Every structure is written in C-alpha cells, then in structure tokens.
Amino acid sequence: MSARVTPYLNFAGNARAAMEFYHSVFGGTLDFTTYADLHRAADAGQENLVAHSMLKGATGVVLMGSDTTAPEGGRTRGAFSVALGGDEEHLTAYWHRLADGGTVTVPFAKSAWGALHGQCVDRFGTSWLVNVTAGTAS
C-alpha cells in the first residue's frame, strides 16, 4: 500500500512569500502554478496569486499551499486542508469513509489531470483533498 498525508496550507494573498520562506527553512525544490497559468483568474488582481505550490524538502518534508480567492480572504471551513494521495488500492475507500456524514465540495471523479480527485469536509470539520495517482485510477 502507498499513501501519504500532506498539509495543504491556504493564504490570503501571500502564499508565494510563505512558501519561499518554508523553502528557505527546508531546502529542496519549490514549484508554483498561478491562477493565470490555469486560466482561472476571475480578474486581473488574481492572475499572479498562487493556485498551487509544492515544496519537496531536502529531507522528505512536503508542503503544499495556495492563495484563497474566497471573499474576505479566507475559507469558511478553516485555514488548511489535508491532502491524501497515492494509488487506488485504498484511497477510494478512504474517500468514501471521509465523505460519509460530511459535505462533498468537489465530487470524487476523474480530473483534468487524469487522476481521480475529490474534496470534502468530514463530519468533524476537517477539509480533505483526495487524489488517486493518475495511471492507477479506474
């Protein structure tokens, strides 16, 4: 079985600076995708905001983050999400268990990047992003 839990941090317009700071702490590699890169900017003010970033630290630390585009600069469901990814063997079952009694915010389905992907807030208020590695998804 292969599974990992990765913190996904949300910021109110300063994701780039925050992730660059974490990069200075943990080393490794850091990649950014902006809302403009994804053609998802609602207006010119969102174009340079970070839609997704990933830090792969030199010692195995992995952090992901993005700028929120929600009104008032924050998400009502909390300041973070937990990203759970890996192969399909167990993740589909994990998805169903996490979503049971919670709220599905993005249905678990094949994504534009080829993976099965879904987002939900579990019954305890924790926000989850579940992503089955492309190539292992049915």
Residue 14 · residue 32 · CB < 8 Å: no
**The pLDDT value given to residue 41:** 83
3-class SS at 78?
coil
- On whether the 77-138 domain is CATH 3.10.180.10, my answer is yes
**The pLDDT value given to residue 16:** 95
pLDDT in tens, 16-28: 999 999 999 889 9
Laid out side by side, the sheet with 62-67 consists of: 29-34, 50-56, 62-67, 3-11, 80-86, 127-132, 116-121, 103-110
Half-sphere exposure of 85 (CA within 13 A, CB side): 16
Average pLDDT over the chain reads 86
Q: Helix-strand-coil percent breakdown of the chain, rounded to 5?
A: 20, 40, 40
Spell out the domain ranges in the chain.
Answer: 10-68, 77-138
3-class SS at 93?
helix
Give this prediction's pTM.
0.64
pLDDT in tens, 52-94: 999 999 888 899 999 987 765 554 445 678 888 887 878 898 9
Residue 17 · residue 28 · CB < 8 Å: no
Alpha-carbon gap, residue 128 to 109, rounded angstroms:
15
Whether residue 137 has pLDDT greater than 60: no
User: What is the mean predicted confidence (pLDDT) over 37-45?
Assistant: 88
